[in-house]
Amino acid sequence: MKHTTISKPTHGSPEWLAVRWKNEDGLARISASVAAAIYDSHPYVTSADLATQLLASEAPQPIEQNAAMLRGTTLEGPVREWAQTLLNVELTEPDVMYVYEEDGVRLIATLDAISTMGAVYEIKTSKKRFDGVLPVMWYWQGVHQAICADVSEITWCVLDGDLDLKFHTQKVSSDEKRQHIEACRNYLACIDMGMYPETAIPSYENISTLHPNANGGSVELSADAVQLLEQLTKTKAMVSELEEHASALQAAICQEIGDNSQATVDGNVVATWKEVSRNSFDQKKFEKEHSALHDKYKKTTTYRQFRINKGDK
């Protein structure tokens, strides 16, 4: 086994994402923030999402931060200073990333803060009240960080919905570390062979991301794929029939509701049929009245579209 540190590029930059994606030998790494995805226990990244990212031919690119991400990055520094004051300990943001590697295992972690004694601190912000119980995503992130930083505990500093800074110490045992290391080894073994792990069932979106371009060629489907195509054709027909049936049922109910706004059963509201207003951009009118400006901001998006050929060829 080998614990090392590497220089940390600017957090969130393409270089930072690339370092987390693969090592210097071009082999996939697993980062702490998505550690729970190995177990399909991450609320935002599925096991298949992570596999798709690691199997891709190019490193991930920066994405626009959502409100939660922006809140976290904006408040990380002030929360670190606040924790430092309350705990009476000097905390600094590491300028390195922490790496753990052994045969078939490649893990990496970015730490929010460390003390002068090498203790690890993880900073979080949450709109919910923190009751001292780590969400599954945080738990596995902590285990992962403990492995990479070669420590036995992580101190969580959580600014929660009470607008209070709360602390929790996560003790990480050697058994927990070994369990995670073996899970990562099994996961990466499939990635190294160019395969999705058995527990990572890819969606159509995953496969579209992995194969974004069509080369104009043709492939003869295997017997298994032919059966899947037949199942897909039947499933699409069933979905269409169910949608038509649902529309008919809705029409019959709404016919009885008539001009009323809601329907009740034994005095309890079971359905509503109300007027809803929404604002929308009239693109056709804008193009007609401001064609030059429309062309300036027009954006072309290219994607692959799957269709089942219903003809003989």
**Residue 291: per-residue pLDDT:** 86
- State the Cα torsion 8-41-130-86 to the nearest 10°: -20
- 244 pLDDT more than 90: yes
Whether residue 165 contacts residue 124, with contact meaning beta carbons closer than 8 Å, is answered with: no
- Outline where the chain has alpha helix (H): 14-21, 47-55, 67-87, 136-149, 174-192, 204-210, 223-257, 283-289, 291-297
- Number of neighbours of residue 309 by Cβ within 10 angstroms: 7
SS3 category, 200: coil
Residue with tokens 């370092």: 19
Q: Residue 67's pLDDT band (boundaries 50, 70, 90)?
A: confident
Q: What is the pTM of this model?
A: 0.86
Ordered DSSP codes for 65-76: --HHHHHHHHHH
Predicted local confidence at residue 229, as pLDDT: 96
DSSP 97-139: EEEEEETTEEEEE--SEEETT--EEEEEE-SSPP-SPPPHHHH
Mean pLDDT confidence for 244-258: 97
Which pLDDT tens digit goes with each residue over 118-168? Answer: 999 999 999 999 999 999 999 999 999 999 999 999 999 999 999 999 999
Write out pLDDT tens, residues 288-302.
888 888 888 888 888
Tens-digit pLDDT profile for residues 261-271: 999 999 999 99
Task: Name the amino acid, one letter, at 104.
Answer: G
Token couple for 174? 């050697």
Give the H or E element holding residue 157. Answer: strand 153-159
Residue of 309 and 156 predicted with greater confidence: 156
Strand partners, 109: 98
DSSP letter, residue 22 = B
Q: Of all helices (H) and strands (E), which one includes residue 264? A: strand 262-265
Mean pLDDT of the chain: 94
Q: Tell me the per-residue pLDDT of 194-236, one tens digit each, with 9 for 90 and over.
A: 999 998 999 999 999 999 999 999 999 999 999 999 999 999 9
Residue 312 binned pLDDT confidence (cut-offs 50, 70, 90): low
pLDDT at 311 over 80: no
Q: What's the average model confidence in pLDDT over 274-303?
A: 88
pLDDT digits (tens, 9 = 90+) for 29-51: 999 999 999 999 999 999 999 99
Q: What region, left, alpha or beta, does residue 126 occupy, with left being phi > 0 and alpha being psi -120 to 50 degrees?
A: beta
Q: Give the pLDDT of residue 294.
A: 83
Cβ contacts of 281 within 8 Å, gap of 6 or more: none
Q: Domains plus CATH for the chain?
A: 2-203 (3.90.320.10), 223-274+281-297 (no CATH)
Closest C-alpha among 160, 189, 199, 147 to residue 28 = 189
* Percentage above 70 pLDDT, the chain: 99
